[in-house]
Homo-oligomer: A and B are copies of this chain.
Amino acid sequence: MVFAALSDPTRRAILSMLLEDDMAVTDVAEPFEMSLAAVSKHLVILANAGLITQEKRGRVKWCKLEPDALREASIWMQGFGQFEAVNLDAFERFLASELSDPGLSDPEDDGSDDEEE
């Protein structure tokens, strides 16, 4: 269900927005040229896929990104050689730093990037 949830550009945009910070439903909907109800439905789909969680505080429902849900999908992808293709540079560097500095055991890496289609 994760891939289906990710297949819609609106939903991917929402995930990108939530990357910055948790947001209320109304605020999530604001930049989109569609009704609040439509965005609300997208959020349900994202929540069902486990990509976000929603917590109601007062009358405001807060949406929080749950990037762990991408794990399964990403692992599936790794079976296709994506593993080598994508990560090798990053991991080569990681590996290099690991080898040159054996005392280091907590890799500080940041692949923060935004990708629209």
Taking Cβ atoms with an 8 Å cutoff, the residues of A that contact B are 1-4, 6-7, 12, 15-16, 19, 65, 67-68, 70-87, 90-91, 94-95, 98-99, 107, 109-115, 117
Contact = CB atoms under 8 A, between A and B. Distances in A.
Given A72-B115, A84-B109, A95-B95, 8 more contacts: A3-B7, A3-B117, A67-B85, A68-B85, A70-B77, A70-B86, A75-B113, A79-B114
Contacts of A79: 16, 19, 109-115
Contact of A111 (B78, B90, B99, B114): B78
A4 B85 contact: no
Nearest to A94: B91
Contacts of A84: 107, 109
11 contacts: A4-B7, A16-B79, A19-B79, A70-B77, A71-B85, A75-B86, A78-B109, A78-B111, A83-B90, A83-B107, A91-B91
Nearest to A76: B115
A81 B115 CA distance: 14
Contacts of A70: 77, 80, 82, 85-86
A102 to B, nearest CB: 9
